[in-house]
Amino acid sequence: MILANSTWGQWLAHLGVPAIYRSQASLLPGVKVRMGAKALPHAGIGVPSYAWSTSPLRRYVDLVNQWQLIAAARHGQTAALAAPFKPKDAQLFAVISAFDAAYSAYNAHQASMERFWTLKYLRQHGITELTASLIKEQAGGAWLARADTLPLVFTVLGAQGLPRGTQVRVRLGQIDDIALDVGGTVIEVLDADTPPTDNGVEDEDETSAAGPIAIAVDVSEAEGASADNPAP
C-alpha cells in the first residue's frame, strides 16, 4: 500500500497531474499530517510523497486520485490536459475541503466511542490506578498523559518538573460520564529517563482517533483556479 501510494503520487507529480496528497513536514512534536494538492514529503512514513490511491471503494480521495491515474496511464505526458481535475482546479480544493469535514467528523465520533468504552471498562473493573507516559505539558502545570495499557489520553496533576516521556503511576479521579473525561494525580515516578515515544507517526490505514487534520491549501492557487471544470 505504501509503495503504491508513494510511487503513484510521484508519477502524477512528474507528469504535472494534480492529485490529493498527505504530507508531514517532520517528526517533531505537534507536526501533524496535512492534506493538500502538492507532492510534499511524508516524514512519518519516510517517503517523498504520499497520495491515498489504493482504497477507492471506501475513500473518495482515493477515487479522485484513481481518476487522475487512469488519465495518466492513457495519455502519458499530456495527461495534465486530459485529466478530470486540471492544474489549479478549484473543484479539487473543494473535494479536499469536503473530505476533511467528513473525515474529521468520523474521527470525532470514533474517538468518542472509544473513550466511552474505555471509561466504562475502568468503572466495571474497579481500576483506580494506571501507569502512563507524559506526552504534553499544559497550562497551569498539568500534563497530558497516555495510559500504557489502554487507549486513553487524560490530564494529570503533580508532574511539574518532569520531562516529556516520563513514565508515572497515576491515581484516577471521578469519571465524568457526560464529558467523557477523567483526571488523575501522579503518585509515583517510575522512569524519568524513558525517551519520548510519541513521534507523531500516523497509521495511514487505521485512522487515528486524534484531532482533525489540517488542510494545506495554497491560497494563491485556489484564488486563481478555474471554476468551470466539472467534477467527474
Q: Is the pLDDT of residue 209 over 80?
A: no
pLDDT tens for each residue of 61-114:
999 999 999 999 999 999 999 999 999 899 999 999 999 888 889 888 988 999
Report the C-alpha gap between 125 and 135 in whole angstroms.
Answer: 26
Residues of the chain with CATH 2.40.50.140: 116-191
Instruction: Provide the CA 18 distance to its chain's centre, in angstroms.
Output: 22
pLDDT of 139: 80
Q: Other C-beta atoms within 10 Å of 179: how many?
A: 8
Q: Is the pLDDT of residue 231 over 90?
A: no
Tell me 213's DSSP state: P
Rg of the chain (C-alpha set): 22
- Decide the pairing of beta strands 34-36 and 21-23: antiparallel
List the alpha helices (DSSP H) in 76-206.
79-82, 90-124
34-36 sheet: strands from edge to edge: 21-23, 34-36, 214-216
Which listed CATH number (2.60.40.420, 2.40.50.140, 2.60.120.200, 2.60.120.10) goes with 116-191?
A: 2.40.50.140
Q: Is the pLDDT of residue 224 over 60?
A: no
Contact between residue 164 and residue 136 where contact means Cβ atoms under 8 Å apart = yes
Q: How many residues does the chain have?
A: 232
Looking at mean pLDDT, say which of 68-72, 175-179, 193-197, 213-217 comes out highest: 68-72
Which grid coordinates belong to 59? Answer: 475513500
Report the C-alpha gap between 42 and 62 in whole angstroms.
Answer: 17
Tell me 173's DSSP state: -
Confidence of residue 223 (pLDDT cuts 50, 70, 90): very low
Which grid coordinates belong to 154? Answer: 487524560
- Decide the pairing of beta strands 214-216 and 34-36: parallel
What average pLDDT score do residues 170-186 get?
A: 93
Tell me 192's DSSP state: T
pLDDT of 193: 57
Strands (E), 15-58: 21-23, 34-36
Cα four-point dihedral sign 194, 199, 203, 209? positive
SS3 60: helix
**Does 222 or 70 have the greater pLDDT score?**
70
When the pLDDT of each residue in the chain is averaged and rounded to a whole number, the result is 84
What average pLDDT score do residues 12-36 get?
A: 92
pLDDT of 212: 33
Confidence of residue 141 (pLDDT cuts 50, 70, 90): confident
Contact between residue 201 and residue 183 where contact means Cβ atoms under 8 Å apart = no
pLDDT tens for each residue of 145-165:
999 999 999 999 998 889 999
pLDDT of 181: 92
What average pLDDT score do residues 127-140 get?
A: 91
Confidence of residue 44 (pLDDT cuts 50, 70, 90): very high
pTM summary value = 0.63
Instruction: Give CA angle at 222 (217, 224), nearest 5°.
Output: 150
